[in-house]
Amino acid sequence: MARVKVAAVGLGWVALHRHLPVMDRSSRFEVIGVIDRAQGRADAVAKQRGYRHSACVGSLDEVAWLDEVDAITVATAPMSHHRLVCDAVRRGKHVLTEKPFAMTVTEGEDMVRSAAAAGRQLAVVHNFQFARSTLRLKADLVAGRLGAITGIDAVQFGNPKRRLPAWYEELPLGLFYDESPHLLYLMRCVAGPLALTRAIAVPSRDGLATPARISAWFKAEAHHYPITLSCNFESPVSEWYLMVFGERELAIVDVFRDIYIRLPNDGTHDTRSVLRTSVAATLQHWLQHVTSGIPHLTGRLVYGNDQVFDRFARAIEGEPQALDPVGPASALSVLKLQHAIIDRREGACPS
């Protein structure tokens, strides 16, 4: 098949370190040009990476060479996703956009309708479900190695001093809105479709839109075990974990490090069992620093982005079912969960 010709819109960190490297290394894509509103940025990136075109514009209608491309990737601030996606599909382009998918459910539904009416493929970058660690978890679930599942916990610690987008405080609940899609789709990829049952938010101590903490509880259509999300945005360290509890074993996905740890049931929790847990956790953690740490240091740990882009290309080439985990239905499901938490959250005062 001929390579998909792409224009990349928005040249922030994620585009430069994930989207463009993945497409440049793929045999399925040819990046024709790059677009950004910042003066000189697109020109510099195009020159550095050897792309034919660049544009410093705020609208796709201003890009003279856009007729040369089949698709666009969107890595701009979420406030512009709706306009860019709708403009792109109106011009006959397939679109892969970063999360958060849209600013409102109404926007998201309009994006999906517009793509369907234009007969174009629309996908969202829900990438961590294809990371090596998550794929190992899913293989263990299929094989039944954990035993009967008794619960799922997703935990996020966020240090406010780490690298963050300049616009995150403009979002509903700030950083929660930008980052929560990752843990929501990870829980969803294990348990299936989710529905919110309760959410509690503790306000920021500094008056920020981003709360200090958010806790949320969900039920799954197909399961009856508890499913919880806990986010702490005023943590001294940044860590993200997905934990799946089984009767035989506990599975832990260390999202940031792309490490997967499986710990056996420790029974009576005697000294021998505690030592066994410590040895198992330590060995698995450090051994996987070889498989994940080296790619991380060399800039080739892409956390499943390669699979997202590959599925996007396959859908364009005539395999639309490849998009199922990152297609419009999944994008809207996660977006609706975000807004359910925002709309139905209860307030809580820090103790």
What pLDDT is recorded for position 143? 98
Q: Which domains does the chain have, with CATH numbers?
A: 4-126+303-322 (3.40.50.720), 128-299+339-344 (3.30.360.10)
- Report whether 200 contacts 214 (CB < 8 A): yes
C-alpha span between 216 and 104 (Å, rounded): 19
Please write down the long-range contacts of 52-61, taking CB distance under 8 Å and 24 or more positions apart: 53/7, 59/87, 60/9, 60/35, 60/84, 60/87, 60/88, 60/91, 61/87
The residue written with tokens 């512009």 in the block is 80
What pLDDT is recorded for position 312? 98
C-alpha span between 273 and 266 (Å, rounded): 5
What pLDDT is recorded for position 1? 67
What pLDDT is recorded for position 255? 97
- Alpha-helix residue ranges (DSSP H) falling in the chain: 13-14, 20-25, 41-49, 81-90, 105-118, 132-143, 175-191, 271-288, 294-297, 305-316, 328-344
Strand duo 239-246 + 249-254: pairing: antiparallel
Sheet holding 29-35, edge to edge: 53-55, 29-35, 4-9, 71-74, 94-97, 122-124
pTM recorded for the entire structure: 0.95
C-alpha span between 160 and 236 (Å, rounded): 8
What pLDDT is recorded for position 316? 98
One digit per residue, the tens of pLDDT, for the chain of length 351 reads: 699 999 999 999 999 999 999 999 999 999 999 999 999 999 999 999 999 999 999 899 999 999 999 999 999 999 999 999 999 999 999 999 999 999 999 999 999 999 999 999 999 999 999 999 999 999 999 999 999 999 999 999 999 999 999 999 999 999 999 999 999 999 999 999 999 999 999 999 999 999 999 999 999 989 999 999 999 999 999 999 999 999 999 999 999 999 999 999 999 999 999 999 999 999 999 999 888 877 777 777 899 999 999 999 999 999 999 999 999 999 999 999 999 999 999 997 554
What pLDDT is recorded for position 299? 73
